[in-house]
A and B are shown apart, each in its own frame.
Chain A
Amino acid sequence: MAVAATPIRVLIGKVGLDGHDRGVKLIARALRDAGTEVIYTGLHQTPEQVVNTAIQEDVDAIGLSILSGAHNTLFRRVLELLKEQGGEDIVLFGGGIIPDDDLAALKAAGVRALFGPGAPMNEIVDFVKGLRS
């Protein structure tokens, strides 16, 4: 008999200093509407804050938005902290303005998926839903 699955829990937030939250809020709304439990951290989060919240809230994934160009520093720092704090099973994904070269390097470093400008909303929702299957 199938066991009713608990909904997927995702932390959605913005790290770094930039305040461009149009995209991240739309994604938070879309994931919420699709039945995901969304913990939205708000703006100006440090990697430490994000990882602490993610572990406390026992999330399946962290989705981060960065439009300031600080992606190389901040995604790597989040991955490092997840490793240090035993959160390697938490999937890290993100979005923002990320040049192709950086994209490949970040994926190699362990960021599961990165969605660029113009990525369809359902692609992101499907990605998150697919994390449990």
Chain B
Amino acid sequence: MQERDPRSTSLSGLDINGVYSRDDLKDWSPEHDLGAPGEFPYTRGVYPTMYRGRFWTMRQFAGFGSADDTNRRLKYLLERGQNGLSIAFDMPTLMGIDADDPLAHGEVGHCGVAISSLADMERLFEDIPLDQITTSMTINGPAAVIFAMYLAAAEKRGISFASLGGTVQNDILKEYIAQKEWLFPPEPSLRLITDTIAYCAKRVPKWHPVSISGYHIREAGSTAVQELAFTLYDGLTYVEAAVKAGLTVDSFAPRLSFFFNVHNDFFEEIAKFRAARRLWAREMARRYQPKDPRSLQLRCHAQTAGCSLTAQQPMNNVVRTTLQALAAVLGGTQSLHTNSMDETLALPSEEAVKLALRTQQLIAQESEVTNTVDPLGGSYYLETLTNRLEEAVLDYFRKLDDLGGMVKAIERGFPQREILDASQRYQREVERKERIVVGVSDYLEQESRSIPILKIGPEVEREQVTRLSDLRKSRDSFRMAGAIEELQEAASCGENVMPSLIEAVKAKATLGEICAALKEVFGTYRESVVL
């Protein structure tokens, strides 16, 4: 019988056969390529028992309006069974400027929470036990400053640094590649990251100082292969920078974490998580020969693909997200965010985010997929896909090596162009109806969007500007200026900046003031436009 228009390529453009068999795995050996769960090369997962021991952390990305607005949302999520926090900051905060900067006008509190000072950070976490819950903060350019605020907020409440667990994203390379929120040029940015890695190794041992992120690379339009290749190569670049700065690999590598997208192609995504673990273990072993096996283990957070959601027929997004979340679980993620159905329209409403969280709880408690570790391991198709992804990633590694490393590749626009070309290919496939997007390119309905959405009023900006002006009037400006001077001194002489950043935020210097002071030392960055 003739096949129904057989899809011959994966979402990422890999050729896909109708049936797979033993013949596809001739060079594959279970001992060498699979191993047991919790054992090298960790294809089957980083822990021996995986979700039989403990479910993944359910961590919904949240932030909007003022620190108080977001504090209420965090408590709402915790009360409904979420067990980790994840903070979204607004655009001014992400770009290291204060809410009263002219460039911030119209943006305060819109894409996330507005945090301009230590006082804001304290209000954000009011009544939340920082020593009992882990917090992930999606912040990159000014990550060291925001991390200093978090540490100072904990210190003021008498919580020891050693008891703090969580993550700062702090992954600047993917900013130049995809998300485009940078403050400084690549070299000083890498140095700031190395400073946070070194500081955590010594003082905040349970913290993840970097979350090496493919999420944004994928959202910018990359394929699964590119997402894996650029992300893992970014990770190796951070390891190299830290080793060059004199750290031993085992003193920090176990605390590196990763963050991946989970897109629509179900099996390709499951294979992606497995290939990621195997690639990282093999590359780390080959390049750095760590003694601690944890230095070889890739632990990750995952988020369902925001770019796969549609504004048309938004309820369909619940189904998309469910399938993607299931792929992340079958792929063995350590932590997961499920997108809300209304996120193509606005930040999620309470109802929408609750349903997104419930989606994870349903998978964990009702689907029974958590009973067996790597339940799809050994499938001809999945193992072939895992192999194919690994080979394709290694091809990219060779190209990046030839270009002289990631920083040079970025300066030449290489990853940016690869992603843009892939995104254009996908867009053309959709426009030609070679790929169907339900509710957009087919199965259309004449309907108006009628789901309730969250709105951020102009009072958020007004109030934040007032708070900042009060802060500037009430502080000891002599102490503040002294702290900024010491910070600049540390930044220019190559000392670790974390201690002086903590002093500066305690002296009530604002995020914008601190970042401006660092720009005087480090300079700024302008990208060469790739079109």
Interface of A with B (CB < 8 Å)? 16-22, 25-26, 28-29, 32, 40, 42-43, 46, 68-70, 72-74, 97, 99-100, 116-118, 120-122
Knowing A70-B110, A97-B344, A122-B431, the reply to whether A40 touches B92 (Cβ < 8 A) is no
Knowing A28-B531, A99-B345, A120-B431, the reply to whether A16 touches B106 (Cβ < 8 A) is yes
B312 and A74 form a contact (CB under 8 A) = no
Knowing A17-B94, A69-B110, A69-B456, the reply to whether A26 touches B427 (Cβ < 8 A) is yes
Closest to B110 in A: A69
Candidates B106, B346, B449; contact of A70 at CB < 8 Å: B106
B103 within 8 A of A: yes
Knowing A26-B427, A117-B311, A118-B437, the reply to whether A99 touches B346 (Cβ < 8 A) is yes
Knowing A18-B111, A22-B220, A68-B91, the reply to whether A29 touches B431 (Cβ < 8 A) is no
Given contacts A19-B179, A100-B448, 7 further A-B contacts (CB under 8 A): A17-B181, A18-B111, A21-B220, A70-B105, A99-B346, A117-B311, A118-B312
How far is it, in angstroms, between the C-alpha of A120 and the C-alpha of B456 when the chains are bound? 29
Return B530 CB to nearest CB of chain A, in Å. Answer: 8
CB-CB under 8 A from B311, the residues of chain A are: 97, 116-118
**How would residues 336 to 378 of chain B score, 1 for a CB under 8 Å from any chain A CB and 0 otherwise?**
0000000011110000000000000000000000000000000
The 7 closest A-B pairs by CB, nearest first: A73-B106, A19-B180, A69-B110, A70-B106, A17-B91, A117-B311, A70-B107
* Residues 212 to 247 of chain B near chain A (Cβ within 8 Å): 219-221
Most-contacted residue by chain B among A21, A42, A72, A74 (CB, 10 A) = A21
Return B336 CB to nearest CB of chain A, in Å. Answer: 23
How far is it, in angstroms, between the C-alpha of A32 and the C-alpha of B424 when the chains are bound? 13
CB-CB under 8 A from B475, the residues of chain A are: none
CB-CB under 8 A from A22, the residues of chain B are: 219-221, 307, 420, 423
How far is it, in angstroms, between the C-alpha of A44 and the C-alpha of B363 when the chains are bound? 40
How far is it, in angstroms, between the C-alpha of A97 and the C-alpha of B347 when the chains are bound? 10
How far is it, in angstroms, between the C-alpha of A97 and the C-alpha of B111 when the chains are bound? 11
CB-CB under 8 A from A16, the residues of chain B are: 91, 106-107
Interface of B with A (CB < 8 Å)? 91-92, 94-95, 103-107, 110-111, 175, 179-181, 219-221, 307, 310-312, 344-347, 420, 423-424, 427, 431, 437, 440, 448-449, 453, 455-456, 527, 529, 531
CB-CB under 8 A from B529, the residues of chain A are: 40, 42
A68 and B111 form a contact (CB under 8 A) = yes
Closest to B102 in A: A46
How far is it, in angstroms, between the C-alpha of A117 and the C-alpha of B312 when the chains are bound? 8
CB-CB under 8 A from B310, the residues of chain A are: 117-118
CB-CB under 8 A from B107, the residues of chain A are: 16-17, 68-70, 73
Return B243 CB to nearest CB of chain A, in Å. Answer: 30
Q: Could you pull out 24 A-B pairs where Cβ atoms are within 8 angstroms?
A: A16-B107, A17-B91, A18-B91, A19-B181, A20-B219, A21-B180, A22-B219, A22-B220, A25-B423, A26-B423, A26-B424, A40-B531, A43-B180, A68-B91, A68-B107, A70-B107, A72-B106, A97-B345, A99-B346, A100-B449, A116-B311, A117-B311, A118-B311, A121-B431
Return B359 CB to nearest CB of chain A, in Å. Answer: 21
Closest to A41 in B: B529
A17 and B531 form a contact (CB under 8 A) = no
A46 and B448 form a contact (CB under 8 A) = no
Most-contacted residue by chain B among A43, A70, A120 (CB, 10 A) = A70
Knowing A68-B111, A117-B310, the reply to whether A99 touches B106 (Cβ < 8 A) is no
How far is it, in angstroms, between the C-alpha of A120 and the C-alpha of B432 when the chains are bound? 10
